Structure 1
Amino acid sequence: MPKQPKPAVTRIATTITARYYPTTGATDGFYLDGRLSGRREHRAADITLDREDRGFFYSVFARMSGGVPDDASTAQVRKHLDQIMTAVKQPGHNIDAEINDLAECAISVVGRIALKHDGMRQPYFGGILVRDSEMAAVTMGGGCAYLYRGDVLYPLTADDYPMEAIDYAGKPVQGLDVYCAGVAGTVRYSNIAQLQLDDCLIVCNKDVMEALGQRDVLRMLYEAEDQADAAGMIMTAAAAKLPGTPM
């Protein structure tokens, strides 16, 4: 049987920064450890939380409503996301079980990812769980999840954005994909990793990475004073490169 991790309280400072625009197709949103994006975040968001807990859940996504009225569709999404958030904070749970539930949640939230059509925004999902100082992630479509540690930006899942095996200074690094696990259908999984002091976890859509590139993102993460500064710098620069693109 797997060894149960020791209970551990983790302190995480989290910033969500978003720019949303009217699009055809999937609608963007976020879930910040219990807070689901709503009408107040229809065009933009800039929210920071600083909490201590045994468990956390963060995600960004774009979902298809499937013809369901907006309020009913939002209620369904909240139900799936709240279930993950509640479970990851409860005693007697471990991250090994929760990562499979997170994959099911991702599929329920974004729906089926179909062939791309011109002008149609496609659904995506990027989600990260933290439990007893351990971390795991899943992504779908154009969703991305990363760990910034020791001046290196590690992909947590085998997403579609090509990464160079380099650090901030451009020096080669070994094992860039060490945190990536397998792929099942349209869901990409991470391995379970132990968090360290000053780790930075990132979830975003691929548009952010494509707008700036890995090297610029590394530079901003290196220069930023904290996670709020990093999120603001990255979003401002990415929005200038791809105006009108939801991020």
Structure 2
Amino acid sequence: MPIDDVGKLEDEEPFPIWAGNPFINKIVNADDLGVSIVDAISAAHEQHCHFAHVIENICAEHGVVPRSRRPSLFLSEEECRQALRLLSDLPRPILCVHPYGTSSPGEGHPWHREEWLKLIAEVSDRMSVLEVGLHRRGDKGLPTRRFRTTLRQMMAIVWASDMFVGFDSSVAHVATAFAKPAVVLWEPIGKTEIDRDVQLGLGAAAYARWSYPENRNLILLDDTQGDVRRATLDWIESHRCAIGPFSPR
């Protein structure tokens, strides 16, 4: 989805991820506070070996301990109700998948499409499979339910689902923010190449830097025998049993 400005998406409300946050009084342009402030913040941010350290260091400045080391997102009551109504015809449990991402595998890799097809085929008789993503960036033609949404509506759909499986991406952060049971798939070569351009040596720390320990993090390295798919299926089944039986309508 094209970016018009920082925090703004084309044809959508500005700063959608901050909407509804009771801890934010006003959003200002950091350049208005000082030309170099964004560069200084970014430079400090790049020194953290784990994203959660950003949260910890902010709290430490005020002498407090973070309640959790994950992002915070806030939905309105109406946004939650709309998402529940949208998914009301889907039998529970609902598995939300996001088979896209900046560092996700390209064509020719089993997890570009083939492994997703096998995964969905093995679970579709026990749960509904819902796909989210940026609709302007292509479609892998997977046998899933999809809805055209705004960014905020997509966030609410993730909240209204029961579990999440997807590549390392902004949507995986959304699922983590809502404390959804999540499997996050990592393509280490692509991720390393992206982060390596930021700072020498940073790419090798990408997994430790951006993963959340509460998620099931799986690396797509030499996965020629479907090991990652089987591990994902085992995880899905354990959470499905905890949620309850599937009742097709």
Does the pair score TM above 0.5?
A: no
TM-score by length of 2: 0.26
| Higher-helix-fraction structure | 2
TM-score normalised to the size of structure 1?
A: 0.26
Which protein is bigger by CA-based radius of gyration? Answer: 2
Bigger strand share? 1
